[in-house]
Amino acid sequence: MAAPPRLTILFDNEPGLPGLTRLWGFAALIHVGGRTILFDTGSNGRVLLKNMAALGVAAESVDLLFLSHPHWDHIGGWDSVLELNPRVSVAVHEGFSKHLIRDLRGLCGELIVVGADPRPLGQGLFSTGMLDSNPPEQALVIDTGEVTAAISGCAHPGMEQIVECAGRFLGKPVQWAIGGFHLMNADPVRIEQSVRALKALGVIGVVPTHCTGDAGKAAFRQAFGTACLDGGVGREIGA
């Protein structure tokens, strides 16, 4: 089975390694194609930077800051990161506040504003494009040639819709689904639909965390067995 891409969860409401602070929200550090990507920033910049320091991650090492959607628990630390790394490239989508987009232009290096179409962001790295949901959301898609993965903030459009979209423009199945699956308030029927849909789309491994909920995590663990990996702050996924 293909191993998941290299990823470290920096911010999560799920428990992980001792000595790190967990709060509601999500952020992850991803290494792919020689680049270092910070995916979302959690809900609190001070906590994000504290966790990063404990894990030996410097804000200055980030090449690209990718923001999935404008909810507070995913963009709460962007200003703390940009204060330390004002040259970082930032990727948002057109569903973000026009005022935030305007302000970001003077606070970061390259600002990438993604529309509705999938967009390459570097070697083996893509945005799904802005997907229709409330709020609109983009997911990060990785294709290393050896493994494919979709990483979501909250998967408001549905994780299966994200994976389907990514597989369509990649021209091959997405093997790993990682992040918040937004099933914390879902009933068992909806959870089972998501599990079955992801399997049917060719997903072989999952890392459900953040807003997935206990029932959702249990269902994915039962369905994927050892290929369902735990999230939680500080967890390292992949080689």
Considering the segment(s) 7-237 as one domain, its CATH architecture is: 4-Layer Sandwich (3.60)
Is residue 194 within 8 Å of residue 162, measured between CB atoms? Answer: no
The two three-digit tokens of residue 138, written as one number = 């983009």
Does residue 148 sit in helix, strand or coil? Answer: strand
Q: What is the pLDDT of residue 34?
A: 87
Q: How far apart are CA 140 and CA 162, in angstroms?
A: 9
Per residue in 49-79, pLDDT tens?
999 999 999 999 999 999 999 999 999 999 9
Q: What is the pLDDT of residue 239?
A: 61
Residue corresponding to tokens 């790394």: 85
Q: What is the pLDDT of residue 33?
A: 84
Beta-sheet strands, E only, within 118-204: 119-122, 125-127, 140-143, 148-152, 176-180
Q: 36 pLDDT band (50/70/90 cuts)?
A: very high
Mean pLDDT of 154-162: 98
Q: What is the rounded average pLDDT for all residues in the chain?
A: 97
Per residue in 170-225, pLDDT tens?
999 999 999 999 999 999 999 999 999 999 999 999 999 999 999 999 999 999 99
Can you give the residue ranges of every domain in the chain? 7-237
Mean pLDDT of 121-150: 96
Higher pLDDT, 239 or 32: 32
Is residue 51 within 8 Å of residue 80, measured between CB atoms? Answer: no
Mean pLDDT of 43-48: 98
Which burial class, exposed, middle or buried, applies to 23 when counting CB atoms under 10 A from its CB (0-12, 13-18, 19+)?
Answer: middle
Q: How far apart are CA 51 and CA 26, in angstroms?
A: 12
